[in-house]
Amino acid sequence: MRLSCSAIATVFTALVFAAIPQLNAQATQYAEKPPLLVGAAWYPEQWPESQWDHDLSLMEAAHIDVVRVGEFAWSTMEPSEGHYDFAWLDRAIALAAKHHICVVLGTPTAAPPAWLTTKYPETLRVDENGVRDEHGNRQQFSFTDPLYRRFARDIAEQMAIHFGHNPDVVGWQLDNEYGNPSFDPTAKAQFHAWLQKKYGTIASLNRHWATAYWSQTYDNFDEIPVREDGENPALLLEWKRFVSDTWKSYSENQIAAIRPHADPRQFITTNTMGWFEGFNEYTVHSVLDIAAWDDYIDSDRYDYLANGAAHDLTRGYKMKNFWVMETEPAFVNWRPTNTPLQKGEVRDMAWQAIGHGAETVEYWQWRSAPNGQEEYHGVLVGADGTPVPVYYEVQQVGKEFAEAGPEIAGTSPHSEVALANDFDSRWAIGFQRHSAGFDPVNEMLAFYKPLRQQSQAVDMISIDTPLDGYKLVELPALNVISQATADRLMAYVRQGGHLLLGPRTGMKDEYDALEPQRQPGPLVDFLGGRVDQFYALDYAVPVSGELGDGTANIWAEQLSVQAPDAKVLLTYGKSNGWLDDRPAVITRSVGKGRITYVGAWLDAATMGRLTQQLLQQAGVQPILPGVPEGVEVCQRSNAEKSVLILINHNTKDEHVGLPEPMRELIGEPGIGSQETVSAVDLPAYGVAVLETQK
């Protein structure tokens, strides 16, 4: 069993720790700071200084260890052009330190001051229709404008000179939630230059984009339109890539200002937004020290599997532990109906974040703002300065992080299975869905959920991540595939890997052009089969075979077998005539491994049975077998120790037996902790944190 100490110390350690990049899993690089942090977004500039100590006292009582400050305070830091005032921030940081609270400083470039946008209106963003933004919101700047970048660099540099060696400042957050691109003349000119650098000649671009279609042929790069939809798919894909490179350079502009003046222990990051697909997160994160994201529930009910997938996605940006820079204290203010999390789910979410590799969980925000666009958003403390009910649940989280932190320090999640997230493919499908129901993220989750439930650990990786050390790799819809990527995948299978391809895989080359050999493109011969035709579905189609009976929904591909050793696992039943009795899922053993192609969006039960078969063939065992449905198992480990986190996401009590005695690191209220147990009883939304005995 992977859970046993001896296994971790031998085979599992040798396999995983040699293959996967590791992070010194400490919330900060300051040894005197706690190994796990609870935090909040604090805005001292919004409140009289006489109230600061009261706020910080309540934070300390709630075991809050870190605050993020400054990310919207440009007008307070630089009240007029070139005149800086950091004295108030000096006092805020010093007062926080007296309450044993450290600071992440946000550069305030997400919200430029009115003096800047009034004097220099060219710094404002222009939307796709040519309308320039106005002052009064946030993210209203142009991410390409040289003047705006100069002001952003200057404020970041002045902050770094002033705070770069303050021992209570442990890190930097650049800007806040990078968002919409700009379509101003500078952005367009930079895009044209970017294309010319990539393609060299306009003839090369015309060839790869097949611009003879609809007389789109261009005579020079300046003729190319700049839009996010309704254009040649190749143009749309390249625009997304350009936007990604531009946000990367936007980060580099501030990093270059901060790093020469900052203590090397101070990390630099930015806060991202889960499945947001405005740019390639791997590109943007390539210049950051750690990944961080804002964990908000965007539906009426908390889906723990979907939320866990977003944590794994974020961990995969750097293949390292990460921070949750913001999360909701019970509710938000931007959904149609802002229902609260159930009592207990805030704690549930906090421990899930840790289980998936977070080092810090910060809440947005600490105290209700006296005014502004987010007055109704959840908080820990009301506008009157007294705690709201969720404060006490966060207080419990802080106490437990302090109890378990020393044993969790230095550990990370590890997995033998991976699921690839590819922005090019998500974008390409989004440009031409063909079926409104084919949402690339939902399709990824359809693969992720049974994989996570059965293996209990999944790495969400880039398609460029080395695959050594993974027994099973799943590519839900790798729509865009280059020959180089295909060669890597084939080598992985030949060397013993198990590869699962989902529908729409291998349809496009790296220029978003259709592969002439049909799907899965350069993998057709290797698979020993291909897609003869694809169909959008408006009703369920039956499938049956070795995996039992089920249905295909949303999307179905008519497959054909072209190699004698390729095996059919599922066949379509009677439906539209084209699919009748044709293969839906095929598999083939190649070299030491296996490749499987799923041509349909399968129902959850059938996908679960397929996942079970793949895991068995790959030799992947669950971390803790036999847990009740709805109880999540997370494991964090290193070469010396292993910590198990069990979370009951159900509304009823659950009993979980353990394969060996383990030491409890936290206790439910009134029960106590540090006991050695052979089983745990988890109440609704209950959590157990357990260390294996040595």
Residue 1 domain-assigned (yes or no):
no
626 and 676 Cβ atoms separated by less than 8 Å: no
DSSP 104-155: EEEP-TTS--HHHHHH-GGGB-B-TTSPBP-SSSSS-B-SS-HHHHHHHHHH
Residue 667's pLDDT band, with cuts at 50, 70 and 90, is confident
Examine residue 197 and state whether it is found in any structural domain, yes or no: no
Residue 138 has a pLDDT of: 87
Asked whether residue 403 falls in the same domain as residue 371, the answer is yes
Q: How far apart are CA 578 and CA 533, in angstroms?
A: 9
Phi-psi region of 113 (alpha: psi -120 to 50; beta: other; left: phi over 0): beta
> What mean pLDDT do residues 554-565 have?
97
CATH value at residue 330: 3.20.20.80
pLDDT band at 277 (very low <50, low <70, confident <90, very high): very high
Average pLDDT over the chain, rounded to an integer: 93
* Residue matched to tokens 């550069």: 107
- Distance between CA 559 and CA 578 in Å, rounded? 11
Does residue 321 lie in a domain region?
yes
3-state secondary structure of 34: coil
Cβ count within 10 A of residue 610: 24
CB-based contact 185:142 (threshold 8 Å): no
Last residue of a domain, one of 575, 596, 618: 618
- Give the integer Cα–Cα distance in Å for 246 and 242: 6
pLDDT of residue 258: 98
My answer on whether 390 and 500 are in the same domain is: no
* Pairing, β 600-602 against β 550-561: antiparallel
Q: Is residue 216 included in any domain, yes or no?
A: no
SS3 618: helix
What tokens were used for 167? 């021992």
404 and 426 both lie in a single domain: no
Task: Say how far apart CA 435 and CA 422 lie, in whole Å.
Answer: 20
Measured from the Cβ of residue 556, the count of other Cβ atoms closer than 10 Å reads 29
CA 5 to chain centre: 30
d(CA 297, CA 332) in angstroms, rounded, equals 8
Task: Read off the pLDDT of residues 63-122 as tens digits, 9 standing for 90 and up.
Answer: 999 999 999 999 999 999 999 999 999 999 999 999 999 999 999 999 999 999 999 999
Residue 104 covered by a domain = yes
The active-site residue, picked from 122, 128, 177, 277, is 177
Reduce the DSSP state of residue 54 to 3 states and report it. helix
Residue 387 neighbours by CB distance under 10 Å: 16
Same domain, 613 and 636: no
pLDDT value at residue 385: 94
CATH code of the domain in which 649 resides: 2.60.40.1180
CATH at residue 584: 3.40.50.880
Tokens of residue 675, six digits: 């006991």
Q: In the predicted model, is pLDDT for residue 341 greater than 50?
A: yes
For residue range 160-208, what is the model confidence (pLDDT) as tens digits?
999 999 999 999 999 999 999 999 999 999 999 999 999 999 999 999 9
Residue 663 has pLDDT above 70, yes or no: yes
Q: Are strands 102-106 and 169-173 parallel, antiparallel or unpaired?
A: parallel
479: how many CB neighbours lie within 10 A of its CB? 28
Rounded distance, CA 420 to CA 130, Å? 36
Could you tell me which of 497, 448, 444 has the C-alpha nearest to residue 468?
497
CA distance 34 to 115: 40
Share of the chain above pLDDT 90, in %: 89
Q: Which residue has the tokens 């309450």?
A: 99
Name the catalytic one among 78, 326, 328, 393.
Answer: 326
Q: How far apart are CA 270 and CA 293, in angstroms?
A: 8
| Residue entry with tokens 């949750």 | 324
Listed residues 563, 587, 618: the one ending a domain:
618
Instruction: Give residue 621's pLDDT band: very low, low, confident or very high (50, 70, 90).
Output: very high
Provide the 10 A C-beta neighbour count for residue 312.
Answer: 24
pTM of the model: 0.95
Report whether 106 contacts 116 (CB < 8 A). no
Is-contact 385 367, C-beta < 8 A? yes
Instruction: Tell me whether strands 417-420 and 459-461 are parallel, antiparallel or unpaired.
Output: parallel
Domain count, the chain: 3
Q: Which of 451 and 19 is assigned the larger pLDDT?
A: 451
483 falls within a domain: yes
Can you tell me the distance from the alpha carbon of 362 to that of 293, in angstroms, rounded to the nearest whole number?
A: 10
Token pair listed for 605: 């039960």
Helix (H, G, I), strand (E, B) or coil at 359: strand
Q: What is the mean pLDDT of residues 443-453?
A: 98
Overall average pLDDT of the 602-619 stretch = 98
Same domain, 384 and 440: no
* Same domain, yes or no: 334 and 461: no
Instruction: Name the residue range of residue 459's domain.
Output: 417-618
Residue ranges in 372-523 assigned as alpha helix (H): 390-408, 423-431, 440-455, 483-494
Model confidence at 4: pLDDT above 70: no
Residue 516 shares a structural domain with residue 600: yes
When pLDDT is averaged across residues 406-420 and rounded to a whole number, the result is: 96
Residues in the chain: 694
The predicted structure's pLDDT at residue 26: 75
For residues 437 and 354, state if they share a domain. no
Task: Confirm whether 656 is domain-assigned.
Answer: yes
Residues 332 and 310 in one domain: yes
60 is catalytic: no
Q: Does residue 546 belong to any structural domain of this protein? A: yes
State how far the Cα of 577 lies from the Cα of 600, in Å rounded to an integer.
16
CA dihedral (161, 162, 167, 170) in degrees, to 10, reads: -70
Task: pLDDT band for 467, please (50, 70, 90 cuts).
Answer: very high
Distance CA 511, CA 193 (A): 18
Burial 163-202 (b: 16+ CB within 10 A, else e): bbebebbbbbbbbbbbbebbbbebbbebbbebbbeebeeb
Spacing of C-alpha 277 from chain mean position: 10
Question: Does residue 326 have an active-site annotation?
Answer: yes
Q: What is the DSSP letter of 229?
A: S
Please report where in the chains the tokens 């307070």 appear, as a residue. 76
Rg (CA), the chain: 26
pLDDT of residue 673: 54
Q: What is the pLDDT of residues 503-541, one digit of tens each?
A: 999 999 999 999 998 999 999 999 999 999 999 999 999
Taking the C-alpha atoms of residue 279 and residue 282, their distance in angstroms, rounded to an integer, is: 9
Contact residues for 616 (Cβ-Cβ < 8 A; gap 6+) = none
Q: What is the pLDDT of residue 176?
A: 97
Among residues 595, 618, 641, which one ends one of the domains? 618
Helical H segments across 319-368, by residue range = 345-355
Asked whether residue 447 falls in the same domain as residue 403, the answer is no
Confidence of residue 375 (pLDDT cuts 50, 70, 90): confident
Element containing residue 350 per DSSP (H, E) = helix 345-355
Q: Are residues 593 and 498 in the same domain?
A: yes
Render pLDDT for 233-257 as a digit per residue (tens, 0 to 9). Answer: 999 999 999 999 999 999 999 999 9
Please give the backbone phi and psi of residue 295, each rounded to the nearest 5 degrees, phi first: -95, 95
Residues 6+ apart with CB under 8 A from 436: none
Convert 443-453 to b/e letters by CB count within 10 Å (16 or more is b).
Answer: bbbbbbbbbbb
Residue type at position 130? G
pLDDT digits (tens, 9 = 90+) for 9-57: 332 333 333 333 344 447 999 999 999 999 999 999 999 999 999 999 9
In a shared domain, residues 384 and 267: yes
Neighbouring C-beta atoms of residue 674, cutoff 10 Å? 11
